[in-house]
Amino acid sequence: MNMGVVRESYPGERRVALTPAVIPNLKRIASEVLVEAGAGVLAGFEDGAYVEKGAQVVPSRREVFERADIIVQVRGYGANPGAGRADLSYLRAGQVVVGLLDPIASPEAAAELAQLGVTAFALELLPRISRAQPMDVLSSQATVAGYKAALLAAMALPKLFPMMITAAGTITPAKVFVIGVGVAGLQAIATARRLGAVVSAYDVRPAAKAEAESVGARFIELGLEGGDVEAGGGYARPMGEEFYQRQRELLGRVLTEQDAVITTAMVLGRRAPVLITADMVRRMRPGSVIVDLAAERGGNCEVTVPGETVEVSGVKVIGAANLASTVPYDASQMYARNVTSFILHVFGRRGELDFSDEITRETLLTHRGQVVHPRVRELLGLPPAVAKGVG
């Protein structure tokens, strides 16, 4: 069984799915680990480093696809709908693809992979259980994004984050407000605190209060928390427009007191909820900054433009996109460790898949010519799958 990793083709993507350090572990079950020449260069990993660890560097992308039984990517087709389409011509029936495939938002891409006979594992679908934590790529990459979000806010804000007592007088600390206390939000809080800011946070999930306070934030309660708001996996469930309207009214009062706001609120597989309207932005202090980590899902701020910074009434709104890729060296190492743990777990039984295992079953997207994941089948309007060796 050969494994292969190729250069990422998503625009601006600098990460690589496998780093030299994980090659020896993968070679416990792989005959060869094939690396497309230059696949890791943008992340800081030269071809020679892969060779030193036992991988074989090959000159072309096509050759990796032709020789590898398992292809490992950061953004596979679905999460890379534009440039990723070119890889469909290289795939063959029975080949395995492992990576981020965005199947909830792009179920049609899963259908195309099924038509090709590809067995695809979507890492976004990993169950949030304790034994899957070493494989959790969403959490590891969100950690990087939260860290960078705090740095972006500090760089864009026209004042210092920490309090300083100087001969020229005392400088008061910046006030930072984090909306959404998931992995990214917690890391944003921790980083902003290390930079010296006074940090507050908000989340509709009741459990978030203790988590935010544990990393030094003051938790803001709007009176909307509690009830059936948890969707599982650290996500909030979709709420009605009446709820969001009331939430925006209450948040608007809090925003007027802030210097920087970092938003991270997302609902799995759906457009991110709009928590900050254009009118709310206009009522913030001139010079304030909003860093919107939900930009790629439509944004938590009404005026967010993914990948761009816009200014409204003196307030900068940063549409932060693919922040993990801006720290490719460490983000790639974290991703590679996650995906290596996943591969060793799923394929460690001499390549045989154990469909009774929750991790294998829940991440399996396509197999033997059909989309097998129940939720994705539902999104495609397909009836429940007929078990063909699955389950």
In the sheet that holds 175-179, the strands lie side by side as 218-219, 198-202, 175-179, 260-263, 289-292, 315-318, 309-312
Q: What is the DSSP string of 31-81?
A: SEEEEETTTTGGGT--HHHHHHTT-EEES-HHHHHHH-SEEEEEE-TTTST
CA 217 to chain centroid, in Å, comes to: 23
147 is catalytic: no
Tell me, what amino acid is at 360?
A: T
136 is catalytic: yes
128 is catalytic: yes
Return the exposure string of 252-280: e unless at least 16 CB atoms fall within 10 Å of the residue's CB, then b. Answer: bebbeebbbbbbbbbbbbeebbbbbbeeb
List the catalytic residue out of 139, 187, 288, 325.
139
For the chain, how many residues are written?
Answer: 391
| Contact status, residue 146 vs residue 264, Cβ threshold 8 Å | yes
List the catalytic residue out of 69, 87, 102, 136.
136
Closest by alpha carbon to 289, among 306, 308, 267, 312? 312
Query: In this structure, what token pair is assigned to residue 375?
Result: 């939720």
The structure tokens 């397909």 sit at: 382
133 is catalytic: yes
List the catalytic residue out of 235, 259, 292, 333.
235
List the catalytic residue out of 47, 90, 115, 128.
128
List the catalytic residue out of 60, 85, 92, 133.
133
Residues designated catalytic: 128, 133, 136, 139, 235
